[in-house]
Amino acid sequence: MQLIKNYIAGELKEPAKKKYLDNVEPATGQVYSQIPNSTAEDLELAVEAAEKVQPSWAGLSLEKRAEILMKVADAIDDHSNELAKAEAIDNGKPFSLAKAVDIYRASANIRFFAQAITQFSSESHAMGDEAINYTLRDPVGVVGCISPWNLPLYLFTWKIAPALAAGNAVIAKPSEVTPMTAFLLSKICIEAGLPAGVLNILHGDGPSIGDPLTTHPKIKAISFTGGTSTGAHISKVTAGMFKKLSLELGGKNPTLVFADCDFEDTVSNVVRAAFSNQGQICLCGSRIYIERPIYEKFKQAFIQKVQALKVGDPLQEDTQHGALVSKPHMEKVLSYIELAQEEGGNILTGGKQVTLEGRCEKGYFVEPTVIEGLDNDCRTNQEEIFGPVCTIMPFDTDEEAVTLANGTQYGLASSIWTNDLKRAHRVAKQIEAGIVWVNCWLLRDLRTPFGGVKNSGVGREGGLEALRFFTETKNVCIKYS
């Protein structure tokens, strides 16, 4: 049984209250490690260490800070196989996906922000011959980063990298459901020579450590990715504390397939958009609208490709569809499939739990599921399922497609598949979402603003937006005479 520890003041530490949670491997259903359920006592130690070191971390030259972060990125690459295996075991995702996407992106995040900070600049505003204003951007100080279980190291580093690059000291909390790669990162940071206290990693659940972290008076900014209801809770408990909040929340993303799309390429990518990571990405396209003239043809080709996805042990090289992250999550997903049927949906493929043989016989596997025949307003099409379940629906006009796409409380991402450039521009402008992909999905340029509108969140991550979030601005106005 592996024992995970917190990372505080540069050291691996047991939690003050010695309370632990079980950590389960979703592909087998077995407990394989224990993680600290940290408390306010651990947080105090972390805040003290962070406060102490932050001025000297911020005082390093940008080049030096970037150099240290680059060493962390290099060390992630050196350990990429170990990290990918750990991610596959901890989360249930296929090893191949963890290696190519999650771990690749983790080091890319750190490398990107290490370079970005050396290019970061602020504005000046001249007032004719009278005066000049310039804006200083200082680190916020001690900041909090909270990440979810679906892309564990990918999203953990997506938050801590800009925070650290901007000169803050960080208290970070990975999901208690997938703590392992953040724990391995603590060891990597020690190996790479990150100064003690600059990054502190506290493990545990929301009530035990999440709430103390978000409400700690010395933590002045919180970057959170997770469910919309947790985001709402964080907004509520921090109200009146005047913290900076960046909330990247859920999605119920539309995929709009027009009759003039590149058919084969679109079918493959729409499958990828719906089912990557077992549909557990906030950007997954789970509502698929297809222009009526190609509806039947698309439906057949889509189902064929979905049925060809290989469900299996995440550690096997050829597995394309692994386990869902936990038993409660699997039960939630299966309950939505039941609900869809009650709401009149017809299951075209999938719909059931998969029982594998051997090592994974008790794992949390669910077939990739496609449903048709539902109204846009039903719960299945309105609520975030966050699993391998999508619905398909026909549409007749561009206007109808846009209305259907915009008809939820969410507004994170969307994708449009067409060869008509004018339509692509027009529809992209009309869609209520923070991100619109045209003829692609999850094609990421880390410089671009990332985040959602409506109930999908507040604020933007990525590029300069993230560096601005993790800094405080001060305007200096100088009169010439």
Ligand X SMILES: NC(=O)C1=CN([C@@H]2O[C@H](COP(=O)(O)OP(=O)(O)OC[C@H]3O[C@@H](n4cnc5c(N)ncnc54)[C@H](O)[C@@H]3O)[C@@H](O)[C@H]2O)C=CC1
Amino acid type, 270: V
Q: How far apart are CA 171 and CA 140, in angstroms?
A: 13
- Residue 102 is given by DSSP the state I
Q: Which of 294, 285, 246, 214 is nearest to 467 (CA)?
A: 246
Active site residue 399: no
Q: Which does 223 bind (CB under 5 to 8 A by kind): ligand X, ligand LM24SWP5, none?
A: none
- Binding flag, residue 282, ligand LM24SWP5 (CB under 6 A): yes
- Binding flag, residue 444, ligand LM24SWP5 (CB under 6 A): yes
- Binding flag, residue 151, ligand LM24SWP5 (CB under 6 A): yes
Q: Under DSSP, is residue 408 helix (H, G, I), strand (E, B) or coil?
A: coil
Catalytic-role residue among 25, 248, 461, 465: 248
Which alpha helices (DSSP H) does 60-98 contain, by range?
Answer: 62-78, 80-91, 95-97
- Which x/- pattern over 171-210 shows residues binding ligand LM24SWP5 (rule: CB under 6 A)? ----------------------------------------
Smallest separation (angstroms) from ligand LM24SWP5 to the CB of 231? 11
- Binding flag, residue 289, ligand X (CB under 6 A): no
Please give the residues from 374 up to 433 whose contact with ligand X meets the rule CB under 6 A: 384, 386
224 or 289: CB nearest ligand X: 224
Q: How far apart are CA 366 and CA 355, in angstroms?
A: 9
Q: Which does 444 bind (CB under 5 to 8 A by kind): ligand X, ligand LM24SWP5, none?
A: ligand LM24SWP5
Residue length, the chain? 481
- Binding flag, residue 339, ligand X (CB under 6 A): no
User: Which residue, judged by CB position, is nearest to ligand LM24SWP5 in the bound state?
Assistant: 282
Residues 6+ apart with CB under 8 A from 91: 26, 98, 149, 150, 152, 178, 314, 322, 325
Which alpha helices (DSSP H) does 415-473 contain, by range?
Answer: 421-430, 463-469
Token code pair at residue 79 = 């350990």
Bridging pattern class, strands 389-395 and 346-349: unpaired
Stretch that binds ligand LM24SWP5, among 56-64, 119-127, 136-144, 279-287 (CB under 6 A): 279-287
- Binding flag, residue 273, ligand LM24SWP5 (CB under 6 A): no
Smallest separation (angstroms) from ligand X to the CB of 120? 26
Q: Where are the beta strands (DSSP E) in 104-186?
A: 124-127, 131-139, 142-146, 169-173
Smallest separation (angstroms) from ligand X to the CB of 132? 43
163 or 281: CB nearest ligand LM24SWP5: 281
Amino acid type, 411: G
Number of residues in contact with ligand X, rule: CB under 6 A? 27
213 or 405: CB nearest ligand X: 213
Distance between start and end Cα atoms, the chain: 71
Q: How far apart are CA 229 and CA 148, in angstroms?
A: 13
Q: How far apart are CA 155 and CA 172, in angstroms?
A: 11
Q: Residue for token digits 């305007």?
A: 475
Q: Which residues pair with 392 in a beta bridge?
A: 288, 372
Q: Which does 227 bind (CB under 5 to 8 A by kind): ligand X, ligand LM24SWP5, none?
A: ligand X
Q: How far apart are CA 233 and CA 216, in angstroms?
A: 15
Amino acid type, 206: G
Smallest separation (angstroms) from ligand LM24SWP5 to the CB of 281? 4
Binding test (CB under 6 A) with ligand X, winner from 282, 288, 366, 389: 282
Q: How far apart are CA 371 and CA 306, in angstroms?
A: 12
Write the Ramachandran bin of 4: left for phi over 0, alpha for psi from -120 to 50, otherwise beta.
beta
Q: Which of 196, 218, 204 is nearest to 15 (CA)?
A: 204
- Binding flag, residue 155, ligand LM24SWP5 (CB under 6 A): yes
CA distances for 281 relative to 16, 275, 362, angstroms = 34, 9, 24
Smallest separation (angstroms) from ligand LM24SWP5 to the CB of 91? 12
- Binding flag, residue 281, ligand LM24SWP5 (CB under 6 A): yes
- Binding flag, residue 283, ligand LM24SWP5 (CB under 6 A): yes
Which alpha helices (DSSP H) does 308-369 contain, by range?
Answer: 327-342
Q: Which does 450 bind (CB under 5 to 8 A by kind): ligand LM24SWP5, ligand X, none?
A: ligand LM24SWP5
- Binding flag, residue 150, ligand LM24SWP5 (CB under 6 A): yes
- Binding flag, residue 373, ligand X (CB under 6 A): no
Q: Which of 331, 27, 279, 321 is nearest to 151 (CA)?
A: 279
- Binding flag, residue 366, ligand X (CB under 6 A): no
- Residue 177 is given by DSSP the state T
Q: Which does 173 bind (CB under 5 to 8 A by kind): ligand X, ligand LM24SWP5, none?
A: ligand X
Binding test (CB under 6 A) with ligand X, winner from 44, 67, 205, 343: 205
- Binding flag, residue 248, ligand LM24SWP5 (CB under 6 A): yes
Binding test (CB under 6 A) with ligand X, winner from 42, 87, 102, 176: 176
Binding site for ligand LM24SWP5 (CB under 6 A): 148, 150-151, 155, 158, 225, 248, 281-283, 444, 450
Residues forming the active site: 248
Binding site for ligand X (CB under 6 A): 146-150, 173, 175-177, 205-206, 210-211, 214, 225-227, 230, 233-234, 249-250, 282, 329, 332, 384, 386
